[in-house]
Amino acid sequence: MTAPTQADIDREMRAAGDAYAGRRAAGSAPGEHPARDYPPYRSSELRHPRQPLTVVQDPDAMELSGPVFGAADVTALDADLTAHHIGEPLGERITVQGRVLDRAGRPVAGQLVEVWQANAAGRYAHRRDRHPAPLDPNFTGAGRCLTDDQGRYAFTTVKPGPYPWRNHVNAWRPAHIHFSVFGTAFAQRVVTQMYFPGDPLFAYDPILQSVTDEAARGRLVASYDHGLSVPEFSLGYRWDIVLDGPAATWTEDTP
Amino acid sequence: MTDLTTAVDAVAADDAKAENAENAAKAATAVTAATPRLAPTPAQTVGPFFGYALPFPGGGDLVPPGHPGAVTLHGRVLDGAGTPIPDALLEFWQAGPDGSRLGAPGSMRRDETTGGFAGRDGVTFTGFARVATDADGRYALRTFAPAGVPYLSVCLFARGLLHHLFSRAYLTGEPGYAEDALLASLPPARRATLETVRERDGVHRFDIRLQGGEDADGGRYEETVFLDFA
């Protein structure tokens, strides 16, 4: 079997997009998340369930509570990915800030946000990433922090580079930072990716395009925020995260 | 539920036009948990390169190895061809042996001196575990059987999986094990995918099959039941 070309993948992505537009026109709700079965992303073929999910509506479900993290689970330096080695990493230094909210707009306070990313050349500090871009001895690319009482997180890092992968011939991922976020309930857990505004690779990437709803895709893209840029140090990006899923009943006492 | 969400989103869009930022902030603090207004951030796959960021030493040791009364839960994560998935990440959340659902910090304590991990303190039961599968698709954790609810909640991430999946591992035959409403609602073959196989005292096997299908020998296997908490 010959490897698919970008044109093949483009055709499949268009078909999936058209099918989604048809369902919307027929009155279905917006797709807030990627479909797990998205053929243009080849690895999804054998890694998605075929049976529908079983809906659990149980006020006593364990998943309405969730794990907690504290001061001992992070160090202050963990949020500065440029400070994990003796020297300074190469690349465009950036600060990424935002808030973690639930769907009612309430801040998610004191919860864990983890990030990982490629270096400025588009290479991960992972032995399975063998593509011929240089590793940076001063950059690993993993960090974490706890949200403050307003749900705010902040990281200092370098802008990751785009990189090739083997989904199809000449496949390239747009630059992105992986985010792992906890809510107050395990059911709110999310792992996702933050993209940078104006990246020319968006249209070619089946992982981003697996979110077939345009507005939902837009929620994965940070905005450049000049107010977050630090003079003579870094460029600022803002990206807020809204967690899906239910949590235990909220009361006036909940922070 | 779906219709409600659509309607609420439409209301939220109108509100955004009508209200200034200050009013919107007030409204956000006044609504209840039952009235979703903001559209969620979509999920994306964990990809193949999380290994240097998410797993941590002792991630699967909710109790120290060899601890009296500890239960071992182990198994494999398999794809639709029956092939082990070597790049999956599993998270577990559970009640404590005393029935507590509060959890505790300290799952991934950091070492301020080296910037590495300090390991769990061996005293606190945090209720949270995280383990990556190995090259054979295997994982293992050591924990206490939860009290009050008969299951561990499971969240599965993997390369190729665009949106994580939730499931549950019901610890067959452990103290506190009982049939619950979810198990009772499932046909036997489906239900069996959520129940651990008790291999011997305190050792349970729980395989996760991401997609039903046939293995290399032509045997059929059932897809694990995955859950939606919408």
| pLDDT, tens only, A151-190 | 999 999 999 999 999 999 999 999 999 999 999 999 999 9
Is residue B100 a contact partner of residue B149, using CB atoms and an 8 Å limit?
no
Contact list in A for residue B223 (CB cut-off 8 A) is 49-51
Residues A86-123: pLDDT tens digits?
A: 999 999 999 999 999 999 999 999 999 999 999 999 99
Q: Does B122 contact chain A (CB < 8 Å)? A: no
Letter for the amino acid at B87?
Answer: D
Helix (H, G, I), strand (E, B), or coil: what is residue A83?
helix
Instruction: Report the alpha-carbon distance of residue A123 to residue A136 in Å, rounded.
Output: 9
User: By C-alpha distance, which of A118, A46, A129 is closest to B137?
Assistant: A46
Is residue A53 a contact partner of residue A77, using CB atoms and an 8 Å limit?
no
- Interface contact flag, A104 B83, Cβ < 8 Å: no
Mutation pick from B15, B29, B38, B220 vs chain A, by most beta carbons of A within 10 Å, is B38
Segment B70-78 shows an average pLDDT of 97
User: By C-alpha distance, which of A41, A70, A46 is closest to A211?
Assistant: A41
Instruction: Report the alpha-carbon distance of residue B210 to residue B79 in Å, rounded.
Output: 5
- Interface contact flag, B42 A74, Cβ < 8 Å: no
Q: Does B69 contact chain A (CB < 8 Å)? A: no
Residues A205-245: pLDDT tens digits?
A: 999 999 999 999 999 999 999 999 999 999 999 999 999 99
More confident residue, B10 or B41: B41
Residues B95-118: pLDDT tens digits?
A: 999 999 999 999 999 999 999 999
Instruction: Report the alpha-carbon distance of residue B84 to residue B133 in Å, rounded.
Output: 9
- Interface contact flag, A104 B164, Cβ < 8 Å: no
Grade residue B31 by pLDDT with cuts at 50, 70 and 90.
Answer: very low
CA geometry: angle B205, A48, A142, nearest 5 deg: 80
CA geometry: angle A214, A215, A220, nearest 5 deg: 95
Instruction: Report the alpha-carbon distance of residue A224 to residue B170 in Å, rounded.
Output: 46
The per-residue DSSP string of B11-54 comes to HHHHHHHHS-HHHHHHHHHHS-TT---SPPPPP----S-GGGTS
Helix (H, G, I), strand (E, B), or coil: what is residue B2?
helix
- Interface contact flag, B162 A210, Cβ < 8 Å: yes
Helix (H, G, I), strand (E, B), or coil: what is residue A82?
helix
Name the strand (E) or helix (H) holding B168.
Answer: strand B165-170
Is residue B115 a contact partner of residue A74, using CB atoms and an 8 Å limit?
no
Exposed/middle/buried for residue A161 (C-beta within 10 Å: 0-12, 13-18, 19+)? middle
Segment A120-130 shows an average pLDDT of 95
Nearest to A56 among B49, B126, B229 (CB): B229
User: By C-alpha distance, which of A208, A170, A224 is closest to A16?
Assistant: A208
Taking CB atoms and an 8 Å cut-off, how many pairs form between chains A and B?
A: 278
Mutation pick from A165, A192, A214 vs chain B, by most beta carbons of B within 10 Å, is A192
Residue A234 to chain B, least CA–CA distance (Å)? 23
Nearest to B44 among A140, A193, A247 (CB): A193
The model's pTM is 0.91
> What mean pLDDT, rounded, does chain B reach?
86
User: By C-alpha distance, which of B80, B79, B61 is closest to B70?
Assistant: B61
Within 10 angstroms of residue B14's Cβ, the number of other Cβ atoms is 10
CA dihedral A35, A40, A46, A49 (to 10 degrees): 10
Instruction: List Cβ neighbours of A159 (8 Å cut-off, separation of 6 or more).
Output: A91, A92, A93, A94, A120, A175, A196, A235
Residue B59 to chain A, least CA–CA distance (Å)? 12
- Interface contact flag, A106 B6, Cβ < 8 Å: no
Nearest to B54 among A114, A220, A240 (CB): A114
Q: Does B107 contact chain A (CB < 8 Å)? A: yes
Q: Does B12 contact chain A (CB < 8 Å)? A: no
Segment B77-94 shows an average pLDDT of 97
Handedness of CA B117, B121, B124, B127 (dihedral sign): positive
> What mean pLDDT, rounded, does chain A reach?
95
User: By C-alpha distance, which of A216, A234, A214 is closest to A225?
Assistant: A234
Residues B166-214: pLDDT tens digits?
A: 999 999 998 877 788 999 999 999 999 999 999 999 999 999 999 998 7
B140 pLDDT exceeds 90?
A: yes
Q: Does B23 contact chain A (CB < 8 Å)? A: no
Positions of A marked catalytic: 124, 163, 173, 176, 178
Residue A199 to chain B, least CA–CA distance (Å)? 17
Instruction: Report the alpha-carbon distance of residue B89 to residue B102 in Å, rounded.
Output: 23
The per-residue DSSP string of A2-33 comes to PPPPHHHHHHHHHHHHHHHHHHHHTTPPP--S
